[in-house]
Amino acid sequence: MPKEATRRRDPIKLVRRSGQWSLEFNRLIAVDDQVMRPERCHVAATTDVLRSLDPNCPPHRVRDAEAIMQQPDDGSERVFELGDDGWVPASPSMNSQRPLSRTEMMAVIGELQSQLTLMRGLHDALLTRVVSMEGALQAKAAKDAEQTSHTGRRVPSRRDMLAVLQRPETPGPLALDGLRAADAASPAHAATSVAETPPVKAAEARAEAPPEQPGRPAAAAPPPATPPAQAAVAAAKPSPGRLVLPTSAEVIECLQLLAADVVLTPAATIVPADFTDFYVARLIDASEEALGLILINQRAGAALGGGLLGLPLTAREDQSRRGIAKDTLEGLNEICNNLGGLVNRKNPKAYTKIRPLERVNATALPWVTNPAATLGITTPPNGVLWLLSR
């Protein structure tokens, strides 16, 4: 292949980059005997190179190229193409970027490293602060959860309660009796039980209590009751058909097993005359006659029923003002069922069934304002539960 063909160049460009002039041209390279491929070449721009690249180039084109290369360098990139009309600018001027020296490059790298170190320090400080804030929030959430959490409720065995309801003539110990065994031996518990015992129990206790004698131990066998004491016990026994109510301690313990976080105290007030704010559960006999009542006002019902369900105190307070919700009322019915079991345990020969809670109708229960026996339990603030016997 002719040498001129291998040195064909079209077009030729005169380029200034970073203050250095060079020539760019295409040169055909033989791949085989019949195929050639173009290759872009870059060489330094000199007069000898210009003349050797294109022998047919007029001398004045070479002089024009030398004049262009002698122009002062303003830091821009210049590109000229050799055409029929001479060297023509091929592209607008652009600022060139001078290659950085080794010293300048090391300075840039050092600055980048210092900035990276600063960013790492800021990141570590921010991460430490976030971790401390998350720890404080978790501690606060755990404290709030601990304050609002409710202790576990110990509910009496339903098997025992069912046994009492089904066989009232053979009373047996309930699950809550075992819980009272440890406290029954303490003097404080004995004093409280005597103070809260109804007249019948007080008379029986006085009849069975041994007289104090100097030099005799407290555990000595009591002497036989005197005839006056036996007469007092017989006079204090209830008439047939009248229910004997459980003691305040038994009722409070049963309620605390169901609603452990509700504060309960014996009521020091008398049965009110107005039952507008009350619910009633009737204890009826086989002839559907009410022998006893469980009266609960709305505030005590919200506290006890909500305590059985584990509702927050704010929800119970809201229901005590606006009305008891359906789920809370169902929980309150369960509490009344347990109280009814206590009443049946005290009256094995006067078995009663308990009706669901409803609003009080004083006309249907004329004796509600004049009961034979009463037992009251209060919940703060102004909540009250009454057990009445006809």
CA angle 246, 248, 254 (to 5 degrees): 80
Give the whole-angstrom CA distance, residue 76 versus residue 78: 6
HEC string of the chain equals CCHHHHCCCCCEEEEEECCEEEEEEEEEEECCCCCEEEEEEEEECCHHHHHHHCCCCCHHHHHHHHHHHCCCCCCEEEEEEEECCEEEECCCCEECCCCCCHHHHHHHHHHHHHHHHHHHHHHHHHHHHHHHHHHHHHHHHHHHHHHHCCCCCCCCCHHHHHHHHHCCCCCCCCHHHHHHHHHHCCHHHHHHHHHHCCHHHHHHHHHHCCCCCCCCCCCCCCCCCCHHHHHHHHHHCCCCCCCCCCCHHHHHHHHHHHCCCCCCEECCCCCCCCCCCEEEEEEECCCCCEEEEEEEEHHHHHHHHHHHHCCCHHHHHHHHHHCCCHHHHHHHHHHHHHHHHHHHHHCCCCCCEECCCEECCCCCCHHHHCCCEEEEEEECCCEEEEEEEC
Model pLDDT, residue 148? 67
pLDDT-based confidence at residue 336 (cuts at 50, 70, 90): very high
Residues in the chain: 390
Indicate the burial class of 318 (C-beta count within 10 angstroms; 0-12, 13-18, 19 or more). Answer: middle
Give the whole-angstrom CA distance, residue 342 versus residue 164: 9
Give the whole-angstrom CA distance, residue 383 versus residue 267: 10
Segment 161-171 shows an average pLDDT of 55
Query: Percent of the chain, pLDDT > 70?
Result: 69
pLDDT digits (tens, 9 = 90+) for 204-231: 444 444 444 444 444 444 544 444 444 4
Model pLDDT, residue 15? 85
Taking a C-beta distance cutoff of 8 angstroms, is the pair 153, 308 a contact?
yes
Nearest to 353 by CA among 295, 293, 288, 283: 283
pLDDT at 167 over 80: no
Model pLDDT, residue 215? 44
pLDDT digits (tens, 9 = 90+) for 69-83: 888 888 788 888 877
The answer to whether domain 158-185+238-389 has CATH 3.40.1550 is yes
pLDDT digits (tens, 9 = 90+) for 7-55: 444 668 888 888 888 888 777 778 777 788 888 787 887 777 777 766 6
Give the whole-angstrom CA distance, residue 326 versus residue 332: 10
Model pLDDT, residue 149? 57
CA angle 254, 369, 296 (to 5 degrees): 30
pLDDT-based confidence at residue 179 (cuts at 50, 70, 90): very low
pLDDT digits (tens, 9 = 90+) for 280-334: 998 988 888 888 989 899 999 999 999 888 889 899 999 988 889 999 999 999 9
The domain locations on the chain are 3-95, 158-185+238-389
pTM over 0.75: no
Model pLDDT, residue 135? 87
Segment 118-133 shows an average pLDDT of 90
Q: What is the pLDDT of the chain when averaged over all its residues?
A: 75
Q: Which is higher by pLDDT, 140 or 212?
A: 140
pLDDT at 172 over 80: no
| Structural tokens at position 301 | 């019902």
Least confident of 84-98, 106-120, 255-269: 84-98
pLDDT at 197 over 80: no
Segment 359-380 shows an average pLDDT of 83
Model pLDDT, residue 200? 42
pLDDT at 235 over 90: no
Give the whole-angstrom CA distance, residue 110 versus residue 107: 5
Residue entry with tokens 């066989």: 167
Give the whole-angstrom CA distance, residue 365 versus residue 280: 10
